[in-house]
């Protein structure tokens, strides 16, 4: 009976909280910030920085800021394709402005989710999936829906490096935003991350890009979020030193950026770190092939519609 139910719900797919994918060319989904008479494509400049509560970051220019200030009914709409049509909407997240960081060339809006609706597979299927596979202590159906919404757009995984004296840490994360047009970077680090306090004190961090083939070794680094990492020479890879900060960077990194933290904001379960890129080094030529996360329900939605990113 369980096998039959699984076949109906997910077909031959393996149930996971997130599907790990790579993207060969361009991201097919689109995201818009909308309100009455307002529609701004934020696909390339929206991010997730906090999970409890769910807080999105949106980088906008000064002209867009003037338009947004006229509205108090903001919502973030996720579309399954770049074609902005009602039938392609998979999620609508109603948000409120809770904070912002203003810079000379733009503003980072911090928008907290109030309510959301998901349209990936009707109402009943997500509910059954939740109670069959994802129901656990402290994990409500509403939280499940908020994760589905947030990860209805691919979130790229990067590797973070930090070093102070004899202490170092290297770990992956996807709650971050590379704002290249402004030479800024933003990170959403969980308060339980053992390196957070040290990063806030020294105001330095390094972020690296990598090829998806490093997925397994990168996921092994995930346990470094909440515990001290092993001695350096026991890592399953060699490292190099970043040019300015002398932080350890994995030898397989495609590139890295050294960032000085200029501002922090407590968002809830995560702390926002806002910084300026002070140095960038390109190590390996690579234009595609990074590692991304999408929610499992988004993957099922893609599969049902005849298109999926390559799983890795």
Same fold yes or no, 28-153 and 158-282: yes
Segments in the chain below pLDDT 50: none
Report the candidate in 189, 195, 205 with the shortest Cα–Cα distance to residue 50.
Answer: 189
- pLDDT at residue 36, rounded to an integer: 86
Give the model's pLDDT for residue 275: 98
CA angle (244, 284, 156) in 5-degree steps: 85
d(CA 299, CA 217): 23
Q: What is the pLDDT of residues 122-131, one digit of tens each?
A: 878 889 888 8
For the domain with range 28-153, which CATH number is right: 2.30.110.10, 3.40.50.300, 2.30.30.90, 2.170.120.12? Answer: 2.30.110.10
Q: Which residues make beta-bridge pairs with 186?
A: 177, 274
Say if residues 68 and 33 touch (Cβ distance below 8 Å).
yes
Q: Are 303 and 235 in contact (CB under 8 A)?
A: no
What is the pLDDT, as a whole number, of residue 287? 65
Tokens found for residue 200: 């806030």
| pLDDT for the residue numbered 189 | 98
Q: Which pLDDT score is estimated for 2?
A: 60
Q: What average pLDDT does the chain have? A: 92
pLDDT score, position 40: 95
Q: What is the model's pLDDT at position 121? A: 85
Whole-number pLDDT of residue 4: 61
Structure confidence by residue, pLDDT tens digits, 154-172: 999 999 999 999 999 999 9
Fold designation for 158-282:
Pnp Oxidase; Chain A (2.30.110)
Q: What pLDDT is recorded for position 167? A: 94
Burial label for 276, CB within 10 Å (0-12, 13-18, 19+), is: middle
What is the rounded CA–CA span in Å between residue 15 and residue 198?
37
Q: Which helix (H) or strand (E) holds 297?
A: helix 296-304
Closest by CA to 121, choosing from 307, 308, 311, 305, is: 305
What is the domain partition of the chain in residue ranges? 28-153, 158-282
């Amino acid at each position: 009976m369980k096998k039959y139910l699984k076949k109906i719900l997910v077909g031959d797919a393996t149930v996971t909280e997130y599907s790990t994918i790579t993207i060969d060319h361009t991201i097919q989904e689109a995201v818009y910030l909308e309100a009455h008479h307002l529609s701004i494509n934020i696909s390339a400049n929206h991010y997730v920085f906090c999970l409890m509560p769910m807080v999105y970051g949106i980088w906008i220019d000064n002209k867009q800021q003037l338009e947004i200030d006229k509205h108090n009914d903001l919502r973030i709409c996720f579309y399954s394709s770049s074609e902005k049509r009602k039938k392609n909407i998979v999620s609508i997240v109603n948000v409120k402005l809770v904070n912002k960081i203003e810079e000379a060339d733009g503003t980072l809006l911090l928008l907290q989710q109030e309510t959301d609706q998901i349209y990936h597979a009707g109402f009943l299927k997500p509910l059954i999936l939740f109670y069959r596979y994802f129901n656990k202590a402290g994990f409500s159906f509403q939280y499940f829906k908020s994760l589905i919404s947030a990860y209805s757009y691919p979130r790229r995984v990067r590797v973070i490096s930090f070093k102070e004296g004899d202490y170092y840490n290297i770990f992956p994360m996807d709650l971050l935003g590379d704002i290249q047009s402004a030479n800024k970077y933003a990170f959403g680090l969980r308060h339980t991350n053992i390196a957070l306090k040290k990063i806030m004190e020294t105001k330095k961090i390094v972020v690296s890009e990598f090829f998806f083939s490093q997925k397994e070794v990168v996921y092994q680094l995930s346990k470094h979020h909440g515990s001290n990492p092993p001695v350096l020479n026991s890592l399953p890879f060699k490292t190099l030193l970043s040019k300015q900060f002398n932080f350890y960077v994995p030898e397989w990194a495609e590139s890295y950026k050294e960032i000085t933290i200029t501002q922090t904001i407590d968002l809830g379960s995560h702390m926002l770190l806002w910084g300026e890129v002070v140095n960038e080094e390109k190590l390996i030529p690579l234009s595609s092939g990074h590692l991304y996360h999408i929610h499992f329900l988004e993957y099922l939605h893609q599969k049902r519609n005849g298109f999926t990113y390559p799983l890795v």
